[in-house]
Amino acid sequence: MIAAPFIMNTLSLNSSDSGKQVLEIGLGGGTFDMGLHELKPDVNITAVDIDEVAKKVAFKYFGVEDSKNHHSVIEDGVKFVEDAKSKGRKFDVVAIDACDDYYWLPCPGESLRSEKFLRTLKEVMTDKGTLTVNFLSRPGVNHSKWHEGLRNYQKVFPTCFEFKGLSNNFVLICVPYKVEETLQSRQLYKERLDEVMSALNLTATLQGYAVLNFLNNY
């Protein structure tokens, strides 16, 4: 997930990006937010989670800590986004890594796949912002359930990509602007992917296997 905003050029590999705003929904073990905070200490990161216990675990066992540019908030992610819209807040990067108990497609949670929520989310993103979402389904999930999970994202966002490594889950990357799929654009993003993976030292983590594909509308 951490590679997504760099691939889409929302965050730079070569500058501090001071003042840019990042929202993470779903604190989990703090891998995304603390990893990004280490790379970009001048970027303001807000991590929102509905579960107080998840925050305590992340702080106690996974090294998550708040600072001037890292803020943890216990609140429902949907409500946080609605409030952000009413306050006129804008985020350059939004990461969703939150699940529920829906058997076939636990991640992202159902409320975070609704068209209403996603339209509100798009309104709190900057024009060149990046949305990155951790998608996880059960083994053997049928194709219709998979497409159902993606459909609203693709209805709301003009361009989405599938970023896949070796695991069963994949990362969805969406942007609020149109990117035409051409031979040139596919090559451009392939080169950008390779550059980012190398710069962030992620190539070895994924054992050299990482694919970025345009997603066609379902």
Cβ burial 112-144 (10 Å sphere, 16+ → b, else e): bbeeebbebbbebbeeebbbbbbbbbeeeeeee
Strand-pair category, 44-49 with 70-74: parallel
Residues forming beta bridges with residue 183, ordered by sequence position = none
Are 165 and 209 a contacting pair, CB within 8 Å? yes
Q: Which of these, 66, 23, 29, 21, lies nearest to 51 by C-alpha position? A: 29
Q: Which residues are catalytic?
A: 97
User: 138: Cβ–Cβ under 8 A, 6 or more apart, which residues?
Assistant: 103, 104, 105, 106
Per DSSP, what are the bridge partners of residue 211?
164
